[in-house]
């Protein structure tokens, strides 16, 4: 019986831990073209019991931050000297199980490569989560691949279409759909696992 319970715990951990790790600060699109005026959207989830009331984004080297979309209830501060953008609220903030989107326009670097979006998430209880790690870490930073040309397009700073990034709305919608599918898959897997355990126990009786 103890072996069965241990196996159940291990299998549940294998299924659930990857999904918990996936709920991190993200920046879309994940691909854009060199020197494009790109509209980026940062999505910030909150996983703690305390609300998240401040987020600081470090602008990657070679990226020029141009403008931001106002978010009701949030104050935006652009510090070009330190290459940071801060969103802060005196309101309820982002509570557990919620997320908030912050959109802005930035000009991409003139060279190909991968840019990293380091972010610092401040919670009401005084804790800070630093999203600055590699992709396989517990707190990974978001990245965008900068290429010479892209089959995707987006709207530039003056409303013109520029070659480059994936459509932001499409990315966030697709991301939400993928999350639903992932959680559906894990629920089915867990149910199948429990059914199998119950069947084994019934046979032993």
pLDDT over 50 (residue 72):
yes
pLDDT digits (tens, 9 = 90+) for 184-202: 656 676 666 677 677 666 6
pLDDT tier at 144, thresholds 50, 70, 90: very high
- Nearest one of 25, 17, 14 to 143, comparing CA atoms: 25
pLDDT digits (tens, 9 = 90+) for 81-101: 999 999 999 999 999 999 999
pLDDT tier at 166, thresholds 50, 70, 90: very low
Would you tell me how many other CB atoms lie within 10 Å of the CB of residue 105? Answer: 18
| Pairing assessment for the beta strands 37-45 and 74-79 based on DSSP bridges | unpaired
pLDDT tier at 108, thresholds 50, 70, 90: very high
In the numeric block, the tokens 């070679």 are attached to 62
Long-range contacts, 179-184 (Cβ 8 Å, 24+)? 179/22, 182/19, 182/22, 183/19
Domain boundaries, the chain: 17-204
Q: Give me Rg for the CA atoms of the chain.
A: 21
Phi, psi of 198 (to 5 degrees): -65, -35
**What's the CATH class of domain 17-204?**
mainly beta
């Amino acid at each position: 019986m103890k072996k069965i319970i241990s196996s159940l715990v291990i299998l549940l951990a294998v299924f659930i831990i990857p999904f918990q790790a996936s709920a991190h600060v993200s920046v879309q699109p994940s691909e854009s073209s060199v020197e494009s005026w790109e509209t980026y959207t940062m999505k910030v989830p909150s996983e703690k019991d305390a609300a998240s009331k401040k987020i600081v984004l470090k602008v990657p080297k070679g990226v020029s931050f141009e403008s931001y979309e106002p978010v009701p209830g949030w104050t935006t501060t652009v510090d070009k000297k330190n290459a940071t953008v801060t969103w802060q609220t005196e309101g309820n903030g982002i509570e557990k199980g919620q997320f908030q989107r912050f959109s802005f326009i930035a000009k991409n670097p003139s060279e190909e490569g991968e840019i990293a979006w380091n972010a610092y998430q401040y919670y009401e209880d005084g804790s800070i989560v630093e999203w600055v790690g590699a992709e396989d870490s517990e707190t990974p930073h978001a990245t965008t691949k900068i290429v010479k040309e892209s089959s995707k397009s987006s709207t530039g700073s003056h409303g013109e279409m520029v070659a480059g990034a994936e459509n932001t709305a499409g990315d966030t919608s697709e991301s939400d759909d993928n999350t639903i599918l992932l959680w559906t898959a894990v629920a089915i897997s867990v149910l199948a696992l429990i059914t199998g355990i119950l069947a084994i126990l019934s046979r032993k009786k």
